[in-house]
Copies of this chain bind each other. A is one copy, B any other.
Amino acid sequence: MSATEDQITEWFARQRKLRPSDFPIGIGDDMAQVRLDCGGSVLVTTDMLLDGVHFDLKEADLEQVGYKAMAAGLSDCAAMATIPLAAVVSVALPAYFGEKELKRLHAGITSAGDKFNCALVGGDITSWHSDAPFAITVTMLSRTAGGPPVKRSGARVGDTICVTGSLGAAPVRKHLHFEPRVTEAIRLAQMVTLHSMIDLSDGLSSDLNRICRQSSVGALIEAGQIPISEEARKSHDPVTCALNDGEDFELLFTLADTDCRNLLQRWNQPLSITKIGTITAADKVQIRMADGRVSDLKPAGYDHLR
């Protein structure tokens, strides 16, 4: 396709202007927010995972696939610092699927949901008339955790940029069993004011560019400060792995530098938090390598349409 996933998403968002009073958050963030007549709101996200693209049934068990599909939705809830409420799941089954396969899938779905008290409340089971590949869509609802959801678009010039955990090589080390950072995201939002946040599903280079574009800011990150996973360190280009591999499902967030120092002093969770750079007034995202060289950091993570 000639357009990128983000260009298409932006085109969709431009077609219908949503009233902010009804939809405080619309197309283009990790979740949309729908205002309800009771005065509250609910957030919603949908993720579709395909055999041969997001997993490979020749290697992955269906329980792992069910887990991953739910965990991807839970990670979106984390990205907004919201509390998962419930999920519905639709599946397209190849003709050879039977009850046994569906029950394995269900086991994975509930094992991920149970961790965060997120119930499976409905779904749709359809079947190809052929051996077309398996597909699964998880749609998840969440609620705010006291404060407003943390959007992608709130980064401010001067913000410190942080990530949780370590990055790179996720496709070989954990893409079927990553931990959605739901608990940590809510704790972060309770401790400090987060200006922007996203979960690293497609890779740091792509997801940081999303925050910057949606916030109309730039960024400068320090290659030497990026927390690189042990597995990525073994590759021939660890920094590039950490920037572009995708599926880390860690949190990328920005906040005032004073808040960041305060946070790092008081943070006592096992999951690490690392400062990797600063939000700038430039109209681009840049990276400074260990040798001091600064270059543009283009989105080079996973694009679902490329």
> Which of A's residues lie within 8 Å of B, judged by CB?
1-3, 5, 8-9, 11-12, 15-16, 18, 22-23, 26-27, 29, 31-32, 34, 36-42, 44-50, 52-54, 85-86, 88-93, 97-99, 102-103, 106, 110, 119-130, 132-133, 135, 137, 139, 141, 143, 304-305
A132–B57 Cα distance when bound, in Å, is: 15
Q: How many copies does the complex hold?
A: 2
For the complex of A and B, the 10 pairs showing the least CB-CB separation, nearest first, are A38-B40, A32-B121, A48-B90, A139-B139, A137-B137, A38-B38, A32-B122, A46-B88, A90-B137, A46-B90
**Is the CB–CB distance between A98 and B1 below 8 Å?**
yes
Cα distance A22–B85 in the bound complex, in angstroms? 9
Residues A86 and B32 in contact in the complex (CB < 8 Å), given A26-B121, A98-B1, A121-B27:
yes
Selected from B49, B106, B128, B135, the residue in CB contact (under 8 A) with A53 is B128
- Given A129-B53, A305-B125, are A86 and B36 also a contact pair (CB < 8 Å)? no
A1, A11, A52 pick with most chain B CB within 10 angstroms: A1
Chain B neighbourhood of A27, CB < 8 A: 120-123
Residues of B within 8 A of A52 (CB): 128-130, 132
Inter-chain contact B129/A46, CB cutoff 8 Å: no
Across-interface contacts of A18 in B (CB, < 8 A)? 119, 121
Bound-state Cα–Cα, A91 to B127, Å: 16
B48:A128 contact, CB within 8 angstroms: no
Q: A135-B135, A143-B36 are known contacts. Are A88 and B45 too (CB-CB below 8 A)?
A: yes
Given contacts A46-B123, A127-B53, contact A141 B34 (CB under 8 A): yes
